[in-house]
A and B are shown apart, each in its own frame.
Chain A
Amino acid sequence: MVIHYKCPNCGADMEFDAASGMLSCVSCGRKDNIEDFSEEFITTTFSEDEAKQYNCNNCGAVIITEADTTATNCSFCGAGVVLGDRLSGDLAPAKVIPFTISKEEAMAAFRKWCRNGRLTPKGFMTADRVKGITGLYVPFWLYDLDSKADVKAVGTRVRTYTRGNYIYTEKKFYDVYRDIDLSYVKVPVDASEKLDDTLMDKLEPYDYQKFKDFKTPYLAGYIAEKYNFSDEELFSRVKTKVQPYIDSYIRSTISGYSSVNYKSKNIRTKKTKAHYVLLPVWMVYYDFDKQEHTFAMNGQTGKIVGKPPISLGKVASWFGGIAAATFVALKIISFAVGGVLW
């Protein structure tokens, strides 16, 4: 099933516009609200051998896709098409955060970010070798989690006091027990195989206020993927993700001790809900020094992550500068205090 959006005015291809949040016509500029876009201009076709091949509704060419792609552009005529059957049933996302940063804004923000790189080589800062920028809807699972923690620990309070010629150190040991209910909501875990997990983790947080009920027109003109891993398969990953949060909460409930020695920490986490959502990411591919660097930008907040090349010369000069400045400052302080320079 291929879904394609035609402009009711002029018949040209329509795409999702990040600035207005509406479906807009590239040709005549008509904008339509996605919630009430008329069904008659959505052409859907079912091809007989869908598992293998999709045909563009616009020009009839074969749409070449990967197995995970749910939205793409026709490689022949460029029309944005959505592969509806890969977004239905179990594969239907519940919510989507539409792009709020357009391609031009993303590009401008990326160039600005490159210019600000304090450790990146000079040639990189001009950002003139950007190979491509792709708007990608990345599949995420948002987990609602309930955890129960049983914690047994020994808390120690240390007090020192002086009596006569002796210094006394008094250690009091306490048997500490905590039974805690913890709850975390909408913890995101990226469900795409292709994208680097640490890169995606750094893109957070997304503003969940902007979630919209999923409608296929949001994907028009962008690339979208379906999830590769189910919520069950990714459950262990979300557990490791909230583990440090749980630990820090437990620590915050045990106060007033000089040291705490955990005897047992029994944490049971269960999933109350998992929402399948699509989150917007701009992927930027940049060729520099015969290497391809991949950057990701949060399509909602504009936060950019990804390892830029590091210039050794710049690292050295920053290091030298900071060390020299610190040394001079220390010398000035020691001269002010001691009255001697060397």
Chain B
Amino acid sequence: MSRRFLTLSILFTSLFIFIFSIPAVEASSKQYIYDSAELLSEEQVMELEDSIKEFGDKQETDFIIHTTNDTGGKSIKTYMGDFYDEHAFGYDQPKGNTILLTVSMDPSKREVYLAGFKKGEEYLDNERIELVLDKVTPHLSDKNFYQAFQQAISTSSDYMEYRPGVNPESLLLKTWFQLVVALAVGGIIVGIMVYNSGGRVTVTARTYFNENNTRVNSKRDMFVNKTVTKRRKPSNNKSRGGRGGGGGITGGGSSFSGGGRSF
């Protein structure tokens, strides 16, 4: 109760500050976009920051976009972890709720890595990160970086609405699917009602069955032959781009969920 009150009051206070403080001061206090590879125009950066603020207020999580031309020889995962430790991102506290999107434009290997910390780790777990990357990677491959980042922000926000552990792309949660099921159920039940309105056949195979004179005189179940087919066990890492999956722990000791692709 008190915790909820606390988070609510934090939320309201931050809203209050957001509305009444001078935007320039608020904007300068936090940096969300570190565009070292210079993939975005100034205008695009402003628009992305607006989306990120909206996302942050809704999910109480900071969304950080980091682009680079050089990971300094480190794997993108380690590079991302060091960057997080160095800046200590977080919506609520240093090293707090964060989603960190890292894009490496290293000429030898262009990669993307998406990681979630704290609430981000819980609500954007490895499976959901893979789903986000499914939507984002095609835009990156087409060099539509602005679109890719907007997509990453909005999709992450959508997914974080769902309770942890639930697949947000599950068919069962789709409204159109639920509508189809509802119409089918209605149709089948009413169909049965119409069909049965004229009376049902209530006799079964047992009604006129005379068990005294019914018997199996002889039966034979003879093994003839057998066939055996084998197929390879489906492996979990589908070969779609290079994947550095799974999340882990940064050098500074923060655990995270994560997933990466090359594009």
* B is bound to A: yes
Quick one: which of A166-216 are within 8 Å of B by CB? 166-187, 201-205
A179 near B209 with CB under 8 A, answer: no
B168 near A323 with CB under 8 A, answer: no
Quick one: which of A316-342 are within 8 Å of B by CB? 318-324, 326-327, 330-331, 334, 337-340, 342
Neighbouring A residues of B199 by C-beta, 8 Å: 202-203, 303-306
Neighbouring B residues of A52 by C-beta, 8 Å: none
Number of contacting residues on B, CB 8 A? 55
Q: Pick the contact of A324: B172, B182, B203, B228 (CB < 8 A).
A: B182
A327 near B200 with CB under 8 A, answer: no
Q: Pick the contact of A323: B182, B214, B225 (CB < 8 A).
A: B182
Complex: A342 Cα to B179 Cα, angstroms: 12
B163 near A170 with CB under 8 A, answer: no
B213-226 near A? 1/0 per residue, CB < 8 Å = 11111111111111
Chain A CB within 8 A of B173 CB:
yes
Most B CB within 10 A of own CB, among A182, A248, A310:
A182
Q: A169-B229, A315-B190 are in contact. Are A179 and B161 (CB under 8 A)?
A: no
Neighbouring A residues of B194 by C-beta, 8 Å: 119, 310, 315
Complex: A327 Cα to B183 Cα, angstroms: 8
Chain B CB within 8 A of A85 CB:
no
Quick one: which of A276-334 are within 8 Å of B by CB? 303-308, 310, 315, 318-324, 326-327, 330-331, 334
Chain A CB within 8 A of B29 CB:
no
B207 near A169 with CB under 8 A, answer: no
Quick one: which of B188-238 are within 8 Å of A by CB? 189-190, 193-194, 197-203, 205, 207-210, 212-233
A167 near B161 with CB under 8 A, answer: no
Q: Pick the contact of B213: A168, A173, A183, A186 (CB < 8 A).
A: A183
Q: A155-B221, A168-B230, A170-B226 are in contact. Are A326 and B185 (CB under 8 A)?
A: yes
Q: A169-B229, A339-B161 are in contact. Are A318 and B185 (CB under 8 A)?
A: no
Neighbouring A residues of B193 by C-beta, 8 Å: 118-119, 318
Neighbouring B residues of A38 by C-beta, 8 Å: none
Q: A146-B213, A171-B226 are in contact. Are A178 and B219 (CB under 8 A)?
A: yes
A326 near B230 with CB under 8 A, answer: no
Most B CB within 10 A of own CB, among A146, A185, A201, A322:
A322
Q: How far is the CB of A320 from chain B (nearest CB, A)?
A: 7
Neighbouring B residues of A178 by C-beta, 8 Å: 216, 218-220
Q: A166-B231, A169-B229, A322-B186 are in contact. Are A330 and B178 (CB under 8 A)?
A: yes
Chain A CB within 8 A of B34 CB:
no
Residues of B at the A interface (CB closer than 8 Å) are: 161-163, 166, 168, 170, 172-173, 175, 178-179, 181-183, 185-187, 189-190, 193-194, 197-203, 205, 207-210, 212-233
| 18 additional A-B residue pairs with CB within 8 Å, beyond A119-B193, A168-B229 | A166-B233, A170-B227, A179-B218, A181-B213, A184-B209, A187-B208, A201-B201, A202-B201, A245-B205, A310-B197, A318-B189, A319-B187, A322-B185, A323-B186, A326-B185, A327-B179, A337-B173, A339-B166
